[in-house]
A = this chain, B = another copy of it.
């Protein structure tokens, strides 16, 4: 189970179902435990016609790292949509979330970026910096990867690892400015709470996917970056207003295209090579259900 064209199609289909009114997606359940610096989120969505649906528990306990533990964990329950019985427990510690998040990044690039690009810029050196780059190979060819991390050693480690996974020339750059100057497609994957991308970095033809901000206070783009973009895309408008880049700037829904509108063919993002496009991703329950359905099918098919 990993990234594949089939998994990409599964997530695209989930998004499209949302646009066709074939998805029930209640507001997530959230609980905050102050004394542990912990948060728990439960997401679910039902895609009509699917065999099952996911209930995903995701936790972030931010004192963990001080004890050498990962902050994030969780699991996905996969329930039969006809009987409500639990068909599977994916004790995946966030693995399927990593995949569906990366695949949403690939979908953003597929529908927003120029057809022909040569250089990808990755800001951040964590788990998603890895997955996002790998997922991009499903939708675009590129020759060069620039990476920027606040810690040079982490960027070096990223480069060493990813050179074996993605066929391109890698280079660690010293600043976001250097990265922006030479990149056609940029993915920001940080936990930043202040803008990393300034408006002065924008160039004609650029596409940026900002997937880091997924909670109140988080921010990777200066609001003027969104203001200056020709095309603004996001996964789910209301959610991005609460949790994503759109929380930092008032932009009416009429100016924003949702990914489901792109995958379903209702709208187009970029209409010219010199436009600047930006996509804000926060992650949705429909991706979890689509990913769980796809994984369950793939795993049970392997068994026979």
Q: Are B29 and A28 in contact (CB under 8 A)?
A: yes
Q: Are A84 and B55 in contact (CB under 8 A)?
A: no
A272 to chain B, nearest CB (A): 42
Q: Are A40 and B59 in contact (CB under 8 A)?
A: no
A17-59 residues at the B interface, CB under 8 angstroms: 24, 26-33, 35-36, 38, 40, 42, 44, 46, 48, 53, 55, 57, 59
Residue among B40, B48, B53, B83 making CB contact with A64, cutoff 8 Å: B83
Provide the residues of chain B in CB contact with A64, threshold 8 Å.
83-84
Provide the residues of chain B in CB contact with A63, threshold 8 Å.
82
Provide the residues of chain B in CB contact with A89, threshold 8 Å.
89, 91
Q: Are A29 and B46 in contact (CB under 8 A)?
A: no
Q: How far is the CA of A171 from the CA of B154 in the complex (A)?
A: 75
Q: How far is the CA of A69 from the CA of B48 in the complex (A)?
A: 22
Number of interface residues of A (CB under 8 A): 40
A146 within 8 A of B: no
Q: How far is the CA of A53 from the CA of B42 in the complex (A)?
A: 14
Q: Are B84 and A38 in contact (CB under 8 A)?
A: yes
Which one of A71-79, A102-110, A111-119, A250-258 is at the interface?
Answer: A71-79
Residue among B30, B73, B79 making CB contact with A85, cutoff 8 Å: B73
Q: How far is the CA of A168 from the CA of B210 in the complex (A)?
A: 68
Q: Are B31 and A26 in contact (CB under 8 A)?
A: yes
Provide the residues of chain B in CB contact with A69, threshold 8 Å.
83, 85
A298 within 8 A of B: no
Provide the residues of chain B in CB contact with A27, threshold 8 Å.
29
A61 within 8 A of B: yes
A205 within 8 A of B: no
Residue among B29, B36, B72 making CB contact with A44, cutoff 8 Å: B29
Q: How far is the CA of A81 from the CA of B72 in the complex (A)?
A: 13
Provide the residues of chain B in CB contact with A157, threshold 8 Å.
none
Q: How far is the CA of A31 from the CA of B26 in the complex (A)?
A: 6
A60 within 8 A of B: yes
Provide the residues of chain B in CB contact with A53, threshold 8 Å.
33
